[in-house]
Amino acid sequence: MKQLVRDPVNLVVSGVGGQGNVMVSLVVGNALVNDGYFVTIGETYGSSQRGGSVMSHVKISAVKQYSPLISEGQADIILGMEPGETLRMLKQFGNSRVVTIVNPRQIHAIDITGGEGYTGTEKLLEMIEGLSAKTYVVNATEEAQKMGNPILANMILIGALAKTGLLPIEEKSLDAVIRQMFPKAVDVNRKALEVGMGLVGKR
């Protein structure tokens, strides 16, 4: 078992309904559990319908099980599936050390506040970078569309997260989870992971 950079590591996964937010949390969480870590996951929803704001709290520890909710200002990693929601989460859970991974494709959540979702993409990314110790901009939706299925954006983001080394996610553990959760789509999901790993550091 690899040592964590902090214990627990607090991960916030942010997006809007229909993007696969919960699936991302489950894939990451199950892969880490397979490697012996303690993982707790909690979901919170703005509007419960498709298009509403969705956020998952994921806590990872090598020593014990923690309660799932992350306190304000205590995120270590924010994985954002949509930039407006990512910015909202940064304002609530960010701090001077937080690392952000963000998909720049905008989807306007129906319950968004503060107007972030209606700001130009470049401005949003500038604000995100200004609030983060480090930012990875991952064009997940664009690459997923090239693969013929936009929903693969979530698996691309998981690949990007794994490649950063922020969490000790082993490829073999991700592979096992994919085989368990998506037995009829193993190859395409593994390809999406590889694409995501290749996008880290690119913009």
How does strand 38-45 pair with strand 53-61?
A: antiparallel
Instruction: From 56, 54, 93, 55, select the one nearest 76 (Cα to Cα).
Output: 93
Q: What is the pLDDT of residue 159?
A: 96
C-alpha span between 39 and 33 (Å, rounded): 6
Q: What is the pLDDT of residue 115?
A: 43
Q: What is the pLDDT of residue 48?
A: 44
CATH topology of domain 9-138+168-181: Pyruvate-ferredoxin Oxidoreductase; domain 3 (3.40.920)
pTM, two decimal places: 0.90
Q: What is the pLDDT of residue 51?
A: 54
Question: DSSP H helical segments within 39-170, as ranges?
Answer: 83-93, 121-130, 140-146, 153-164
- Lookup: tokens for 56: 């998952």
Is the separation of the CB atoms in 28 and 58 below 8 Å?
yes
pLDDT by position in tens, the chain (length 203) = 788 989 999 999 998 776 778 899 999 999 999 999 999 999 765 544 455 678 899 999 999 999 989 999 999 999 999 999 999 999 999 999 999 999 999 876 555 444 444 568 899 999 999 999 999 999 999 999 999 999 999 999 999 999 999 999 999 999 999 999 999 999 999 999 999 999 985 54
Distance of CA 35 to the CA centre of its chain: 19
Q: What is the pLDDT of residue 20?
A: 75
> In terms of C-beta density within 10 A (0-12 exposed, 13-18 middle, 19 or more buried), how is residue 113 classed?
exposed
Is the separation of the CB atoms in 200 and 139 below 8 Å?
no
- Lookup: tokens for 157: 């983001």
Q: What is the pLDDT of residue 118?
A: 54
Element (H, E) at 22: helix 21-34
**Residue linked to tokens 């998506």:** 182
SS3 31: helix
Q: What is the pLDDT of residue 198?
A: 94
Domain definitions of the chain by residue range? 9-138+168-181
